């Protein structure tokens, strides 16, 4: 657990000072019991030896300890929360930075709900671990340990019985740890699946409504929530049983201590003062141990969350060369590149081609031929399995990821806008851009006019994912981002595929401004949009099967020509009624 916490929090030294003060606080909390013992000893003396002033002084000292402990408790509370939230905030930032450095393969293998749970729920558990459980658990062990040393000076036999009861209770605590670990992992898995299904339900609500699958009609969510309920009940029930056994053994140990002490007292083998000591302060010995047992099972569950986070933190990011290089030009070369998202299935197989600087290269081919994979590898969203990719003659693995990202602007087909103002969504392209630069980019991207028509203009909230804007509006804001970034290499992933004619024209004008004097790589399904490209690469089954200009490829009469002819024929397609429907239409039925 400590290793996981160290990976998550980084430096645990921040906890040491707070933990020390918490130990002092716990000791002072138990100190009044010691003062009470001294009062009882004084009251047991003969009347002629009793000192009332001493008793009053002891009560005054007890009151003073309580007052001091109240102020110390406030200090400890503020320190512990400040330290915990500082550590958890640092941990969240470190996790976010680490996730940014991981390849897309990490995210492809995990459900979005799992990553969301990692950032939110698992981090909340770690936060609780830092703010309460870890420091309190240490204090609850230190106090009984110090009391045990004091008890040894009074009577070894009674102290031995106390320690024996603790040793008998430890196996139940270890059993609880194993049980909570087993059922905790199952519950966390169910929790993450429920988060993923709920996210899926919300994102696909329009589809579910269209097919009457809302509520219990969406069986996947229903089953997942029921499984989460059952696993949560099992966790609480199974983990609670050994903890109750642990508490029962400690309670029986205290009872046995009193019986054994009374027997020794009756035999004259134990002084009355010593018996009173174990009677009064003995309960303070067992009390923190009982609390520690309750905390221990919770700590075990929360350590699973810390372990999940530390597992991600240990995931190796994309490697960077210790001696990075910066290219002085921006052409792109694929050299015998092979790649697959899974070992058993290759997407690209020994692909080689060259994309000239300041020219437009189009990628065309059937679905699944590897077009998007080529653009992802060029920007090093993934690392190749074999071969190399070079930008300006430099292997992308020898360029710092941050520098490589600065060289690329990507306009995706499916644009994502953040839950923020339109102004800030455009400024994603350049964090320190002035308002004038943002407006200029918006004007060039053909989106300034519709932004100004909105009630709050550039301060209008885009909504999560840009839900308050149309597809064409989102696409033009995405192009404004890319214009603001002004990177030398531009990747266009079928940016006009799903737009209506009016929006398509505006987006095409914006794209024309974006790609001027840039190295451009375009994914195209509609071949007429790239007929004027400087170079067209035709991909099929993970290989470049044809390469050239539009006219050259048509003369080859190969795959490109077939795709072109099919699209030309499909261009005249329209909805038609069958004969029966036409007859009904004419009859007015």
What distance in Å separates the CA atoms of residue 272 and residue 287, rounded to the nearest whole number?
A: 23
User: 205 or 469, which is more confident?
Assistant: 469
The CA distance from 478 to 542, in Å, is 29
Tell whether pTM > 0.85. no
User: Left, alpha or beta for 178 (phi > 0: left; psi -120 to 50: alpha)?
Assistant: alpha
Question: What band does 507 get if pLDDT is binned at 50, 70 and 90?
Answer: low
pLDDT band for position 314 (50/70/90)?
A: confident
Report residue 501: phi and psi, to 5°. -55, -40
pLDDT of residue 1: 54
Q: Please tell me the predicted confidence (pLDDT) of residue 583.
A: 47
Average pLDDT of the chain to the nearest whole number: 83
Question: Lowest-confidence range among 28-32, 192-196, 350-354, 493-497?
Answer: 493-497
Count CB neighbours of 35 within 10 A.
Answer: 18
Bridge partners (DSSP) listed for residue 520? 360, 490
What is the Cα–Cα distance from 534 to 358, expressed in whole angstroms?
A: 10
How large is the C-alpha radius of gyration of the chain?
A: 35
The domains found in the chain, sorted by start residue, are 2-177+233-314 (1.20.1560.10), 355-379+409-570 (3.40.50.300)
Kindly report the length of the chain: 589
Structure-model confidence comparison of residues 129 and 57, the more confident one: 57
- pLDDT of 357 > 50? The answer is yes
Average pLDDT over residues 157-173: 92
Mean pLDDT of 250-255: 92
Query: For residue 441, which of 484, 492, 500, 377 has the smallest C-alpha distance?
Result: 484
37-51, 428-442, 463-477, 540-554: lowest mean pLDDT where? 37-51
Q: How many CA atoms lie within 13 A of 272 on its CB side?
A: 7
Q: How far apart are CA 462 and CA 424, in angstroms?
A: 10
DSSP string, 74-133: HHHHHHHHHHHHHHHHHHHHHHHHHHHHS-HHHHHTS-HHHHHHIIIIIHHHHHHIIIII
């Amino acid at each position: 657990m400590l290793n996981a916490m160290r990976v998550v929090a980084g430096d645990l030294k921040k906890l040491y000072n707070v933990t020390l003060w918490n130990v002092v606080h716990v000791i002072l909390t138990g100190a009044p019991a010691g003062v009470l013992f001294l009062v009882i000893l004084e009251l047991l003396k003969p009347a002629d030896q009793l000192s009332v002033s001493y008793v009053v002084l002891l009560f005054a000292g007890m009151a003073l300890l309580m007052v001091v402990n109240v102020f110390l408790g406030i200090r400890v509370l503020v320190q512990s929360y400040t330290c915990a939230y500082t550590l958890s905030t640092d941990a969240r930032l470190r996790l976010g930075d680490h996730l940014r450095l991981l390849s897309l393969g990490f995210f492809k293998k995990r459900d979005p709900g799992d990553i969301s749970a990692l950032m939110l729920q698992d981090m909340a558990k770690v936060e609780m671990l830092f703010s309460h459980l870890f420091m309190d658990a240490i204090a609850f062990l230190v106090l009984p340990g110090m009391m045990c040393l004091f008890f040894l000076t009074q009577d070894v036999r009674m102290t031995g019985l106390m320690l024996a009861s603790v040793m008998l209770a430890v196996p139940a605590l270890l059993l609880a740890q194993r049980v909570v670990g087993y059922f905790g992992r199952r519950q966390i898995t169910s929790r993450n699946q429920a988060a993923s299904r709920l996210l899926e339900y919300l994102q696909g609500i329009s589809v579910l409504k269209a097919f009457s699958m809302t509520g219990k009609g969406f069986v996947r969510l229903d089953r997942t929530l029921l499984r989460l309920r059952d696993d949560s009940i099992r966790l609480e029930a199974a983990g609670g049983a050994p903890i109750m056994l642990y508490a029962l053994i400690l309670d029986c140990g205290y009872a046995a201590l009193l019986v054994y002490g009374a027997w020794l007292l009756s035999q004259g083998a134990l002084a009355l003062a010593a018996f009173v000591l174990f009677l009064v302060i003995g309960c303070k010995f067992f009390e923190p141990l009982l609390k520690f047992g309750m905390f221990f099972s919770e700590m075990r569950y929360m350590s699973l969350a810390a372990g999940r986070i530390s597992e991600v933190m240990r995931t190796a990011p994309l490697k960077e060369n210790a001696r990075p290089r910066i290219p002085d030009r921006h052409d792109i070369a694929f050299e015998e590149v092979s790649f697959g998202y899974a070992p058993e299935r290759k997407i690209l197989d020994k692909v080689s081609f060259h994309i000239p600087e300041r020219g437009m290269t189009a990628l065309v081919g059937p679905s699944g031929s590897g077009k998007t994979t080529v653009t992802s590898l060029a920007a090093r969203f993934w690392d190749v399995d074999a071969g190399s990719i070079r930008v300006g003659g430099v292997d992308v693995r020898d360029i710092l990821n941050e520098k490589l990202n600065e060289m690329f602007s990507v306009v995706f087909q499916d644009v994502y806008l953040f839950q923020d103002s339109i102004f800030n969504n455009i400024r994603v392209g350049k964090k320190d851009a002035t308002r004038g630069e943002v407006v200029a980019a918006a004007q060039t991207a053909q989106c300034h006019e519709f932004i100004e028509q909105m009630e709050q203009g550039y301060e209008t909230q885009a909504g999560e994912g840009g839900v308050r804007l149309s597809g064409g509006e989102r696409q033009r804001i995405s192009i404004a981002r890319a214009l603001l970034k002004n990177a030398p290499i531009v990747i266009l992933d079928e940016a006009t595929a799903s737009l209506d004619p009016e929006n398509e024209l505006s987006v095409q004008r914006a794209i024309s401004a974006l790609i001027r004097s840039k190295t451009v790589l375009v994914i195209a399904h509609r071949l007429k949009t790239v007929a004027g490209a400087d170079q067209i690469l035709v991909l099929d089954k993970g290989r470049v099967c044809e390469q050239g200009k539009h006219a050259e490829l048509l003369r080859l009469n190969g795959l490109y020509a077939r795709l072109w002819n099919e699209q030309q024929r499909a261009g005249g397609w329209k909805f038609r009624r069958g004969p029966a429907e036409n007859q009904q239409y004419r009859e007015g039925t």
